[in-house]
Amino acid sequence: MLTLLTSMYIVVRAISRQAEPIRVVVTGAAGQIAYSLLYSIAKGDVFGKEQPIILILLDITPMLPVLDGVVMELQDCALPLLREVIPTDKVEVGFKDIDAAILVGSMPRKEGMERKDLLKANVAIFKTQGAALDKFAKKTVKVLVVGNPANTNCLIASKSAPSIPKENFSCLTRLDHNRACSQVAMRCGVSSNNVKNVIIWGNHSSTQYPDVHHAKVNVGGGEKAAYDAVKDDAWLRGDFISTVQQRGAAVIKARKLSSAMSAAKAICDHMRDIWFGTKEGEFISMGVYAAGNSYGIPEDLIYSFPVQIKNKTWKIVDGLPINDFSRAKMDATATELVEERDTAMDFLSN
């Protein structure tokens, strides 16, 4: 009898836990990345197949009619995990008691716009959103910044939310990571899940450094170092790096639109790994706070490192040997990030 009661209690507890939805906000929710992203979140690809979700769609006021159409489509998907969809243009609604924030919306670079002008516009946006996170979100919220310049936008948001741990903020370099995996996989004639431990160092920009010195490729049932599997050092040190660095521009040139489907997939990969952890013996790339890193990167930056994740907490993978080739490229992208940070901090203080 006691065993039966215990079993019933466990079932009731499990049901009650399952019934508690998490609140997830996506900014720029009327845009094309969000349009590719929202369905995957709502059907359980990111936070789990038994985790109910309340989706909050935040965008600027002129986009509210478009958001209404997105809400209708999400309703029409008839997804069992989706408990509620809330469209809004108000940060106090968008960030209220949220568990996860995916900050996709940012000011895009327009023709003739200087990079410093782009930074200035985005400092204002991410200062506001950071302050709103600080005021309205749960202190345990996990914040992913996607909108470019993602690293510096993430830093500004974090600095504007002093009551939320800096470790709760990260920016998206998983798209670059996935691009690098795919390039190596295609070169070796294997599927991308046979490539692991590539690294994106630094900024989500054309100075990023895709590094495969520590990557492994499963070829013919055996695991090889990427350099041994590819057997083309010149490609790995040349066209491979530039292809990954310039891939976003190549997509825009071909589609006349920026990456959306692949960006949404990378966002899902990033957040799912935060929620459920990385595989044993594997690491992925994320832009995270650089404090305490062992690679000589300035500490007050959001910089992409190899990380492992357990219990929703990331840890930079320390102690990887760095050769002179890698050192120069890691430093170059850090220099760009320092310049971006200093420019952004000037705007923030003013």
CB 150 within 8 A of CB 172: yes
Say if residue 115 carries a ligand binding annotation: yes
Write the DSSP string, 284-333. Answer: EEEEEE-TT-SS---SSSEEEEEEEEETTEEEE-------HHHHHHHHHH
Say if residue 147 carries a ligand binding annotation: yes
Say if residue 179 carries a ligand binding annotation: yes
From residue 340, give the alpha-carbon distance in Å to each of 28, 129, 155, 171, 260.
Answer: 23, 19, 10, 15, 25
Say if residue 293 carries a ligand binding annotation: no
Write the DSSP string, 243-283. Answer: HHHTHHHHHHHHHSS---HHHHHHHHHHHHHHHH-PPTT--
Longest pairwise C-alpha distance within the chain? 76
Say if residue 146 carries a ligand binding annotation: yes
CB 44 within 8 A of CB 55: no
Active site residues: 204
Say if residue 307 carries a ligand binding annotation: no
Structure tokens at 176: 């670059």
Residue closest to 121 by CA, chosen among 149, 86, 88, 158: 149
Cβ-in-10-Å burial (0-12, 13-18, 19+) of 16 comes to exposed
Residue positions forming the annotated binding site: 59, 109, 115, 122, 146-148, 179
Feature table: binding site for substrate: 109, 115, 148, 179
Binding residues for NAD(+): 59, 122, 146-148
